[in-house]
Amino acid sequence: MPLLEILEYPDQRLLTVAKPVDTVDDGLRALIDDMAETMYAAPGVGLAATQVDVHIRLVIVDVSETRDQLQVFINPEIVEQEGEQACEEGCLSVPGIYDTVTRAARIRVRALDRNGAPFEIVAEEMLSVCLQHEFDHLEGKVFVDYLSRLKQSRIRNRIEKRARRR
């Protein structure tokens, strides 16, 4: 399975709103496997298809310490949310940048699994944060969008400076 290229902020393709998945088939499962290999190698705890320039509503996460509990969310939707939590976030598309974002503390999510079967889960703590972060990617948002314009500008300059050094 090949590692996929992860788009980096401020790449305009990260602004693309993902389209629903129509068919869950072997091609989609192969993409899921490639995304998982890419996420684990990065290393990260979540990856949205948008981040690998595939603009469909697909997210994978693994917040386990053992890195062996991959969860797949096809056409996910948050159907309930409550509370609030502030957590420091990072992103594979914004490497080396971390900042605090406030999100719902508890969410209930409805989605399809890797075989197309519908399911619902309740997520709290790290899983809740990770899912909301990845679902934002499906809407064309990156976590830095929650930060002030000044912080966004500094982050963009830092990333562009790093890219020039490569």
Instruction: Judge whether 62 and 39 are in contact, CB under 8 Å.
Output: yes
Residue 92, domain member (yes or no):
yes
Which are the contacts of 127, defined by CB distance < 8 A and separation ≥ 6?
Answer: 61, 63
Instruction: Judge whether 13 and 53 are in contact, CB under 8 Å.
Output: yes
Instruction: Judge whether 91 and 143 are in contact, CB under 8 Å.
Output: yes
Q: What pLDDT does residue 165 have? A: 85
Active-site residue list: 134
**Does the pLDDT value for residue 156 go beyond 90?**
no
Residue 6, domain member (yes or no):
no
Domains in the chain, number: 1
Domain containing 28 — which CATH number? 3.90.45.10
Structure confidence by residue, pLDDT tens digits, 6-63: 999 989 999 999 999 999 999 999 999 999 999 999 999 999 999 999 999 999 999 9
Structure confidence by residue, pLDDT tens digits, 109-130: 999 999 999 999 999 999 999 9
Integer-rounded Cα Rg, in Å, for the chain is 15
Residue 5, domain member (yes or no):
no
Residue 4, domain member (yes or no):
no
Residue 131, domain member (yes or no):
yes
Rounded distance between C-alpha atoms, residue 140 and residue 56, angstroms:
11
Residue 151, domain member (yes or no):
yes
Q: What pLDDT does residue 164 have? A: 86
Residue 1, domain member (yes or no):
no
Amino acid identity at 71: Q
Residue 2, domain member (yes or no):
no
Which are the contacts of 104, defined by CB distance < 8 A and separation ≥ 6?
Answer: 78, 81, 82, 83, 84, 85, 128, 132
Inter-CA distances, 42 with 45, 53, 80, 117, 125, Å: 9, 16, 31, 28, 22
pTM score: 0.95
Picking from 117, 38, 37, 104, the residue whose alpha carbon sits closest to that of residue 73 is: 117
